[in-house]
Structure 1
Amino acid sequence: MQKSYANGVKNKGSILKNILNKNFIVSAIVPVVIFYVFDKFEMTLSGIIFSGLWSIGVVIVNFIRTRELNALAAIAAAFSGIGLVGSVISKNAAFYFVSPLVGNALVSLIFFLSLLSRKSLIEVIVDQSYLKNAPEKIKNDKDHKFVWRFLSAIWGFGNLGQAILGAVLLKVVSMSLYYAVINIYGNILTILLLAFSITFPKIYFKKKRQKI
């Protein structure tokens, strides 16, 4: 079972390369450029609207193309939409900039709360994908549970750290710099967390097999 998991992980590695090449530019760089251009012409609210619509559009287009909804991307898009609507109604850019931080804090809370339940969030995701048809003995294996709980904690701390960093940046730097840093950092963090989530179980289970 661990071998089949590793094979599935290997296939995911090639997908990760595509994320770095194409999706990163589309989802991280383009909205920053859009906002920066409008902000330079003192059209901050317009920059927020168009960059926000772009970010939401990316999630929708990816869903239409793949018929798969990335949970984290969907949450980010939802909060982006809330911030966008709030900014347009109030004509205050703060709504749009604060909403992603709330989203990160909420995602972090979900990951941490899942550690208190019988199954952590990562374990639920893995059970529904890689280990969908696996025997209960495998699913309840203490090594598997340790890995999934550890990764859930890592994702929780990662999102919490992003929320804290964003809150600090929002206070000390300009809006355009904040938006650029937090958007690019957020996408890089997600890629790193995905990469770690892929490689750590593979290395952990390999070492376990070597000890047997």
Structure 2
Amino acid sequence: MEKISDNNSNKKYSVLKNIFNKDFVVSAIIPIIIFSVFDKMEMTLSGIILSGVWSIGVVLINFMKDHKINALAAMGASFAGIGIIGTVISKNPTFYLVAPIIQDILLALVFFGSLFLERSLIQIIVEQSYLKNVSEEFKKQPKYKAVWRIVTIAWGVLNISQAVLRTILLYSVSMSSYYAMSTLYGNISSPLLLTFSMLFPKWYWKRIK
């Protein structure tokens, strides 16, 4: 019992360590600080632009350092860029804050739409980045394809829930609080579900024989 407990504790610690690390501070905490400082100085528009540019810069720096880019991070950076451009043109900070909601809705549609393809989007992402040693014979088995359908549905549901939560927050809390909660939620939920996407298939395949 003690060994099982220790293993579970180590797994939980490993997951938390992978989420709340230096990258989390750089990609989530610093943009929140930038926006909050400028918002309190009544320079909300400048805060939006600078925090958005920071977030995009983090993705570009990681790409130049690792010579590869995470598909989800790329999508997030793309929408951030669109949000910044729209905010500058309209001079309305709300434009940037609405962009993540639109992103969530579009991603949900993409994930659910990919269920009709031979390989779902999350299957492609995980196979290319984290699951490279699976034989072609195993990939042809029904249980292999079934697990990715389950994981893809989970990603679609996550994005719908994020869109609903962000919409509620947008109309119920201050702009600064919305930005902080939205950024934190996105930077925690996605890594958690990505971890689930890597661990759940292995558990499922062992259970379904």
Structure 1-normalised TM-score?
0.85
* CA shift for structure 1 position 137: 2.7
Match of 1:5 in 2: none
Residues in 2 aligned to 1:72 and 1:129: alpha-carbon distance in whole angstroms? 12
* CA shift for structure 1 position 14: 6.5
Contact 2:123–2:148, Cα closer than 8 Å, also in 1: yes
Moved more, 126-135 or 185-194: 126-135
Match of 1:50 in 2: 50
Contact 2:111–2:153, Cα closer than 8 Å, also in 1: yes
Contact 1:86–1:95, Cα closer than 8 Å, also in 2: yes
* One-letter amino acid of the counterpart of residue 73, structure 2: A
Contact 2:19–2:192, Cα closer than 8 Å, also in 1: no
* CA shift for structure 1 position 15: 8.9
| Distance of aligned partners of 1:139 and 1:131 in 2 relative to their CA distance in 1, 3 Å threshold | farther
Contact 1:131–1:139, Cα closer than 8 Å, also in 2: no
Residues in 2 aligned to 1:124 and 1:173: alpha-carbon distance in whole angstroms? 37
Residues in 1 aligned to 2:51 and 2:126: alpha-carbon distance in whole angstroms? 33
Structure 1, unaligned runs of 5 or more: 1-12
| Distance of aligned partners of 1:179 and 1:52 in 2 relative to their CA distance in 1, 3 Å threshold | same
Contact 1:59–1:74, Cα closer than 8 Å, also in 2: yes
| Distance of aligned partners of 1:129 and 1:172 in 2 relative to their CA distance in 1, 3 Å threshold | closer
Contact 1:27–1:55, Cα closer than 8 Å, also in 2: yes
CA RMSD of aligned residues (A): 2.0
Deviations 1:170-192 (A, max 9, x none): 11111101000000001110121
* CA shift for structure 1 position 120: 1.7
* CA shift for structure 1 position 119: 2.2
Structure 2 counterpart SS, 1:124: helix
Contact 1:28–1:187, Cα closer than 8 Å, also in 2: yes
Residues in 2 aligned to 1:119 and 1:46: alpha-carbon distance in whole angstroms? 42
Structure 1 counterpart SS, 2:180: helix
Structure 2, unaligned runs of 5 or more: 1-12
Residues in 1 aligned to 2:136 and 2:191: alpha-carbon distance in whole angstroms? 30
Match of 2:9 in 1: none
* One-letter amino acid of the counterpart of residue 118, structure 1: E
Match of 1:116 in 2: 116
* One-letter amino acid of the counterpart of residue 190, structure 1: S
Match of 1:163 in 2: 163
Contact 1:16–1:191, Cα closer than 8 Å, also in 2: no
Contact 1:52–1:80, Cα closer than 8 Å, also in 2: yes
* CA shift for structure 1 position 67: 0.8
Residues in 2 aligned to 1:49 and 1:42: alpha-carbon distance in whole angstroms? 14
Residues in 1 aligned to 2:189 and 2:113: alpha-carbon distance in whole angstroms? 21
TM alignment of 1:27-66, pairs within 5 A: 27-66=27-66
Match of 2:26 in 1: 26
Match of 1:199 in 2: 199
| Distance of aligned partners of 1:36 and 1:199 in 2 relative to their CA distance in 1, 3 Å threshold | same
Structure 1 counterpart SS, 2:68: coil
